[in-house]
Structure 1
């Protein structure tokens, strides 16, 4: 299958590209710079110039493919609303090119916004309306004749090269001189290894149902206090609790995420697709030490 991949040189997208190529697919990767284009060429993928803001480039890329995997996102969480709106428009543009074709469109979402009252979220749980524009936009493409499905990625996708939430917590600990959590630190983040996530994208592309929701989750929920404890031990810093009122000053933009309780299960995803995570857990990967180098 010829697959158009957005975010093809990103942390997750680059692993998706390698997974697709290794399974015999052809990849057309979106590239917004010469450096990205060179990286795609070196990886063995074809290059499609464009960006998330260039909706015509997205339509052309999707039209030239037999399926689309959308991993690109502007991870400026200080301007999250604007980034989410850009993502919504991008998904709609991809849907424009795929409408009426029954070709697969795999959209990336997350697990925040599921109302579960503390139990692990399942694939049947629906986010609060307006909370996950990417998921809403993806599901809306089904009515247009697109085999659209959504992967809800865990809060932490971990591996060498991670630049997401956990490295941010480590940077904050270094800057503040303490490794912190909020309240009792019992709130949980799910996690998945990057290569396991990449394999899931391929399986959803190949087997996913129209309207299917799938969970990219291996660790169902890692307590934030345990993350802080490992960070403190490796950086030789005290581990402390911050109150909800103290969190914004200490964590900055991360304050809106660091207190979230997001446990989730991927049991149905595993059963339906035959997906079995095999990578190390988040805590095991942190104990390897490479997150603390440099």
Structure 2
């Protein structure tokens, strides 16, 4: 298959490109810079140079491929809502380009959108609105596109997609601990983060385009839920800092804009994803990676 991958030079996207190429597929990767284009070419992929928000470019690229995997997302949290709405427009544009073709469109969502007193499953529909939780815009767009007959899949990623070179949530927690001189958790620290190694997540995306399963929402989750206190402890131990609970106003004082994410309790199941894809995550666990993958 020839697969169009957005965010092809990103932390997750680059792993997907590598996984697809090693499995014998062709890749057309969207990147924004000449340096990223050079790396993509060196990997054996074709380059589509441009911005994901350029609708003409992405629709033209999608029309030349057998499948689309969309991972690009602007993680500038100072304009988070605007970025989420921009993602809605991109997904709807892909839907227009693929309508009537039966080519699969695989989009990316976040497991932190759902919160229950039990592990989130693939059957759990999004209950929040983008007016309340901006990131919900991506799944809302996927639903709208699917209603028009496009073959859409949603891959929900956990709070931590980890591995060497990670620049996501765990580095934020580590840098905050360094800045504050203590590694913190919220309350008793029992809130749980699901996690997956990025190489295992990349396999999920590859298997989706290959198998095109009946399951339309999939969970790229290797570890159902790791207590945030355990994450804070391994960081504190590694940095030789005290490990402290934060409550009340001290939560925001320590974590700032990240307080919401530090409080997320979102254990998540991968049972149906494993059953339908035959996926077997084999990468290092989150705690092992924090210790050994260069995070500290």
Match of residue 177 from structure 2: 173
Q: Deviations over 1:10-64 (max 9, x none)?
A: 0000000010011111000001111111111011110112112211111111111
Would you say the 8 A contact 2:66–2:104 is kept in 1?
Answer: yes
Match of residue 24 from structure 1: 24
In the alignment, does 2:233 pair up with 1:229?
yes
Structure 1 residues 244 and 205, CA gap change in structure 2 (3 angstroms): farther
Structure 2: segments with no counterpart, 5+ residues? none
RMSD: 1.2
Runs of 4+ in 1 over 4 A off after TM superposition: none
Would you say the 8 A contact 1:159–1:285 is kept in 2?
Answer: yes
Measure, in 2, the Cα distance between the counterparts of 1:140 and 1:33: 32
TM-score, normalised to structure 2, is 0.95
1:115 Cα shift?
Answer: 4.1
In the alignment, does 2:249 pair up with 1:245?
yes
In the alignment, does 2:123 pair up with 1:124?
yes
1:210 Cα shift?
Answer: 6.3
More moved, 181-190 vs 141-150: 141-150
1:112 Cα shift?
Answer: 1.9
Measure, in 1, the Cα distance between the counterparts of 2:203 and 2:32: 25
Would you say the 8 A contact 1:142–1:210 is kept in 2?
Answer: no
Would you say the 8 A contact 1:147–1:209 is kept in 2?
Answer: no
Structure 1: segments with no counterpart, 5+ residues? none
In the alignment, does 2:71 pair up with 1:71?
yes
Q: Aligned to 1:101, what secondary structure does the other structure show? A: coil
More moved, 56-65 vs 241-250: 241-250
More moved, 268-277 vs 207-216: 207-216
Match of residue 100 from structure 2: 100
Would you say the 8 A contact 1:179–1:239 is kept in 2?
Answer: yes
Would you say the 8 A contact 1:191–1:218 is kept in 2?
Answer: yes
Q: Aligned to 1:241, what secondary structure does the other structure show? A: strand
TM-score, normalised to structure 1, is 0.96
Pick aligned residue for 1:282 from 280, 286, 289: 286
Q: How many correspondences in the alignment?
A: 291
Structure 1 residues 102 and 260, CA gap change in structure 2 (3 angstroms): same
Measure, in 1, the Cα distance between the counterparts of 2:79 and 2:127: 20
In the alignment, does 2:161 pair up with 1:189?
no
Q: Aligned to 1:57, what secondary structure does the other structure show? A: helix
In the alignment, does 2:2 pair up with 1:2?
yes
Measure, in 2, the Cα distance between the counterparts of 1:163 and 1:180: 19
1:85 Cα shift?
Answer: 0.7
